[in-house]
Each structure stands twice: as C-alpha cells, then as structure tokens.
Amino acid sequence: MVGADSHEHDEIGHVYEDFDLRERMVQKRLRKIESMQKDIEEPLLIGPEDFRTLIIGWGSSFHIIEETLEFIGRSDTVLMHFQQIYPLPQNIGMKLEQAQKIIVIEGNKTGQFARLLTQHTGRMIDYVLPYYSGLQFSVEQLTRDLDSCLNGEVL
C-alpha cells in the first residue's frame, strides 16, 4: 500500500515523477485559487447588524437554520450562510470578530468547516453542532440543540 508519493499528473491526466512538472502544476493550482478570490461569493447575513451571536451554516442547511432561528426568535442572533465555502472571503475574520458567540452547524462529525474558519481567521468557534447520521436534521432537533448552546449548556 502506498501512503504518499511524489507523482504528479499533467493537464491531460498522465502521471509523471517530474519535479519541474510538479512545480508548474502547483503554481497552476495557486493561480486558480487567486482567480477564484476575485469572484468569491460573500456569505448571506440574515438578521440584525448589532448581533451578539452568529450562527454559521452552509449548503443545503439554509432553510432549516433560517426556520429554526425564526422559531427561536432571538433579536441578538444572526445567520451567516455560505453558498461557497472555499476560498473564504478576505474580510470574513472581521465579521466573526463582531460576534460574542459563534455556533457552526455542520453535516459531519468532525466540524471541518468550523476548523477551516478558525484556521483562516484565528477566531475560535464556541460550539459546533455536528449532524452526521446521513439524514437531514430537523427544525425540531436543531431548535433543541441551538437552544442549549444559546443558554450556555454543553451538548
């Protein structure tokens, strides 16, 4: 079993062990990321401008989180929803710093997006709500779990 190797594929998919090719392909990938930064989509921010609590979600979780927050009805809480999770907007750190409490809702056990946010901004995430059964979480389940986080309870 191979754990890692130094092979690189070229533009048409042929695999080589060529260090010059490796450098060219890494530079090509980095240029793509730079290009993506120019067209990045800002996350939606739904709620009051003077929020204290920031709820972060991405992908298909939008409507469930939005409905849950309407049901909970807290005037100090805002939803930040990402349609595009990478690369992150340059100013995302400032938005996260505004929050006193950050809760990230994820469809995986390990909180991958929360870790990415912390890695890029330095801002620690207060709570990660991981839903990883393979099923979409419900408004009722999220309401119960969010309520616990908002009240400072550890899940």
Domain ranges in the chain are 8-38, 44-150
The tens digit of pLDDT for each residue in 74-118 reads 999 999 999 999 999 989 999 999 999 999 999 999 999 999 999
The tens digit of pLDDT for each residue in 128-142 reads 999 999 999 999 999
Cα dist from 33 to 47, 82, 98, whole Å: 30, 17, 27
Instruction: Name the pLDDT band for 147 (thresholds 50, 70, 90).
Output: very high
CATH 2.60.40.10 fits 44-150, yes or no: no
pTM: 0.84
Backbone angles phi, psi at 50, to 5 degrees: -100, 55
Instruction: Name the pLDDT band for 19 (thresholds 50, 70, 90).
Output: confident
Which of 89, 81, 133 has its CA nearest to residue 107? 133
